[in-house]
Every structure is written in structure tokens, then in C-alpha cells.
Amino acid sequence: MKATSRLIFSILRRFAFCLACLAWLATVSAVAQEDPVHRELQKALDQLDAERARIAQEKIPLAERVSALEATLVEERRRMEETRRKADSRSLELSKLRNDIKAREQEQQYLVSLFSEYLRNLESRLHISELQLYERELRDAREILEREDAPAPERLAAAAGAISKSLKRLESLIGGVRFEGQAAAEDGRLHRGTFALIGPVALFAAAESDLCGIVEQRLGSLEPSVAPFQDPALAEMTRQLLRAGEGEMAFDGSLGNARKIEATKETLWEHIQKGGVVMWPILTMAALIFGFSVFKWLRLSFTRLPDPRNLDALFVAIREGQDDAAQAQINGMRGPAARMLKAGWSRRGHSKDIMEEAMFAEVLEARFRLNSGLPFIAVGAATAPLMGLLGTVTGIIATFKLITVFGSGDVKMLSAGISEALITTEFGLIVAIPSLLLHAFLSRKARSIVERLEQIAIAFLDAMSARSALPNEAASVSSGLENSGEIQPEGAPA
């Protein structure tokens, strides 16, 4: 467009120049007809005509050239549009390729994570005896997979190699496999020998010793441990199997769990020792409570109460005014009831209130003696669980300290620590529950004796009222005992 404009502008400028020349020649021609100037003007006009002719000759080629340039411009524009479309298409393709590459990278990362998890699960499912065969390959593959700067083909190749190894392992386990390795005996020494892995059961026989048994994993040990057979026949049968590759084998249906459960059994003394120092105050409290409970039960059981027949004879003698017979009956009695009746009989010349107070004082004294020591049992029953809880808290704190040092990866160690910490709570409850029952039993027994004393006191006062021929006074004495809430007639509400 710019070239065309310049060309048109040039043509117009020349045309203007020609017009100016014609005007000048017209002006000059008039003069030139009479002078030399006119001749010069005519000459200029001739030149103008020549220029016009030349311009006319050049105009057509120039127009053709303009047309050619315009065609070129249109072609260039078309090519530019085509190039732009191609560029846009390439941009779309490039964006799509970038998205595909990103998706492939995500898939690759997912596969790497999947392979890493598979290797971790495979390592955890390997028998402790198989670690000697696959530990190095699995560790190398896991290190390559976890290395961020490792090339993708290398990581995938490492994963494929580990998976191929695991598939070969599965094929070998179908009919059982034998391999050389080393295992630890019960004393911790390592022995070289032959393993036989048949299904979930692993057997081992040492090459240079008599060690032969089932292979298992022990807590805190990274080496396969051998639980030797107790029966020599089983040991010889296992040796024959490992030596020849065929034969009979010993099979534990519980897959070693029976041996583990047997190993967890412990004596009472071992169980107590696991509780720690808090166990000793609990056991001391238990000994004191149970010892005192036995003593208290014997004391309450041997507390003497009057025979009902003797009481009936006493009350009849009192109503009939036979003082000597009544005195003899009271002197023949023993225990708190005898002391209570003596106190009331010694004040028979006084008012009924005085007799009641004297007998009530003896009842209070008897109640104090009968209930003595029972609060100790109640306090022990309430204190024993608290001491057990104290031992549990200290044990849990010690367990968390171990977790801080060694980590929480070993679940068995963690559960064992918590289990030992709960032993004190267990013994605290063992002491508390029987102590509560003993306290309730002994309290009920002491209360029954006091209630019997109250019944005897009421009957005695009734007999004294009948004897003194003052029924109103006797009734007031009985009413006073009932209102005090300490001595109630039989059958009255509590």
C-alpha cells in the first residue's frame, strides 16, 4: 500500500509540474511571439509534450507493476493468514502435548508411589527368615524409587525388577523352598543352617549344632529366632526333611500363636513384680484390710448376747417384783447386753428417764466398740483404686518416655508397657471390691447387734414400767427412746 501511494503521489506531482509549465509557457508564449523569450517558451512546451509522452509510455508499465505488487500483497496476506492458522494450530497442539506430558508425569508419580507401597507391604509380609534373601534387593529398589532426582526409566526399572522378584518368590512358595541362612538360638547366638519355608511355616536346622525347630520373630530382634522342638523325634524328622527336601514335617495349626500365648503366661509373683513399687502399698493395704476384717468378724461373731429364755425369765421376775431372781439372772449374763441391763437395774430406784439414760450410755459404748475399725476398711476400699490409678499413671508416663526415646514403631513394646501399667489398677480394684463387701457385711453384723440391744432395752423398760405401777411414766420412757432415734422397738421403720 505504501509503495502504491508513493507512486501515485509521484505521478500527481509530475502532473502538477507539467500544468505549472504549461501555465508558464502560455504566459511566456505571448511574449515569445515578439521576442526570444517566446521561443524559449515554445521550446519548453515542446519538452513538456515530450515529457507527457514519456509519462504516458511509463504509466502502463507502472500500473502493471502496481497490479503485480497488489497481487503479491494479497498472496503475502494469504500466506500470513495461513501461517497464523498454522501457528495457532501448533500452539493448541503444544498445549495439548504439555497437558499430556503433565498427565504422564502424574501417572508416573502414581505408579512410583504404588510400587513403593507395594514394596513396603511386601517387606512387611515377608517371613523373618526371607529377609536374608530379599532385603538387599528391596532396599535398593526402595531407595531408587524414593530418590526424587532419579530418572523415570531407572525408577520404573527398579520397581519392575522388585515386582519380578516377588512373583518368582510366590512361584517358589507353592511347593516350598529351601535356602541357606543364619538364625538365632534362644541364647542369642547365630547358627548357620538351612531354612525350609513351606506355606506359612518356616523350619530351620543348624549345620554344625543340634539346633532345630520352628522359626519365628521375637520382639526386639531383627534376626529369625528358632524355637527348638522339645521332642527329639520331631527334630530328627525336620532334619530329614531339610536334608532330603521331602518327607514329613511338624505343623503347628496355630502358626506359633499357641507358643506365644504359652510364653505370655506368668506366675502371680511375676505378675505382681511387673506392677512396680506401687504394688507394695496396695498389697500392704490389702493384708491389713483382710487381716483386720477377719479379726473383726471373729470379734463380732463371739459377742455374747443373752439367751431369749433367760431374758423372758428376767422380765417375768421384774414384773412380779422378784428382785433377787432378777439380780441373779442379770449376774448370769455376759457381754454388752449384761452391762446395759446392770446399768438400768442399778438405777431401779430412780425415775425411768435416769434408767433410760444409763442404758442408752451403755448402748452407745457398745456401738462404739462394735463399729471400731470399720472406717479403716472403708478408707482402704476407697484408697486402693486410687493407689492403683497412681501406679497406672506413673507406668503410662514411663511408657511415653520410652516412646520418646525409641519411637512408636514397635506396637508390641507399647502395648506391653501399657499392659504393665494397668496391673496396679487391676490389683487396686481386686483389693477395693472385696473390701467394700467386707465393710458392708461387718457393718450389717454390728448394726444387728446394736438393734438387738435396743430391743432388749425396750423390753426391760416395759417390764420396769409394769413393776412400778406407773404406766404413764414407763410410756414416756419408751417414747423418749423412740424419739432419740437410737433405740427403736422391733418392727419400727428405720
CB 446 within 8 A of CB 370: yes
Q: Comparing 24-38, 222-236, 271-285, 303-317, which segment has the lowest mean pLDDT?
A: 24-38
Write the CA distances from 96 to 101, 243, 303, integer angstroms. 9, 63, 103
Residues 6+ apart with CB under 8 A from 149: none
Q: What is the mean pLDDT of the chain?
A: 82
Nine cell digits for residue 213 = 525347630
Q: Where are the beta strands (DSSP E) in 121-249?
A: 177-184, 190-198, 201-206, 212-216, 225-228
* Statement: residue 492 has pLDDT above 70: no
Cβ count within 10 A of residue 345: 21
pLDDT of residue 254: 75
* Statement: residue 487 has pLDDT above 50: no
Residue 250: exposure state from Cβ atoms within 10 A (0-12, 13-18, ≥19): middle
Q: Comparing 160-169, 233-242, 259-268, 464-473, which segment has the lowest mean pLDDT?
A: 464-473
Write the CA distances from 301 to 93, 362, 436, 437, 455, integer angstroms. 104, 20, 19, 17, 19
Q: Rg of the chain's alpha carbons, rounded to an integer?
A: 60
Q: What is the DSSP letter of 356?
A: H
Q: What is the mean pLDDT of residues 324-351?
A: 86
Q: What pLDDT band is residue 484 in, cutting at 50, 70 and 90?
A: very low
Measured distance CA(278)–CA(389) in Å, rounded: 10
Residue type, 163: I
Measured distance CA(323)–CA(329) in Å, rounded: 10
Cβ count within 10 A of residue 478: 19
Measured distance CA(63)–CA(70) in Å, rounded: 10
* Statement: residue 111 has pLDDT above 80: yes
| Phi and psi at residue 37, to the nearest 5° | -65, -35
Q: Where are the alpha helices (DSSP H) in 147-249?
A: 152-173, 232-244
Q: What is the mean pLDDT of residues 45-59?
A: 91
Q: Comparing 54-63, 167-176, 436-445, which segment has the lowest mean pLDDT?
A: 167-176
Measured distance CA(415)–CA(419) in Å, rounded: 6
pLDDT of residue 494: 31
* β partners of residue 195: 179, 204
Percent residues over pLDDT 70 in the chain: 90
Nine cell digits for residue 200 = 506359612
Cβ count within 10 A of residue 153: 9
Residue type, 195: F
Q: What is the mean pLDDT of residues 301-313?
A: 86
Measured distance CA(79)–CA(411) in Å, rounded: 74
Nine cell digits for residue 445 = 453384723
More confident residue, 362 or 258: 362
* Statement: residue 345 has pLDDT above 60: yes
* Statement: residue 116 has pLDDT above 80: yes
CB 391 within 8 A of CB 276: yes
pLDDT of residue 19: 80
Place of cell 463380732: 300
Helix (H, G, I), strand (E, B) or coil at 249: coil
Measured distance CA(191)–CA(181) in Å, rounded: 8
Q: Comparing 19-33, 228-242, 375-389, which segment has the lowest mean pLDDT?
A: 19-33
CB 489 within 8 A of CB 458: yes
CB 211 within 8 A of CB 173: no
Q: What is the mean pLDDT of residues 34-52?
A: 85
CA angle 373, 378, 382 (to 5 degrees): 145
Residues 6+ apart with CB under 8 A from 402: 413, 417
pLDDT of residue 441: 94
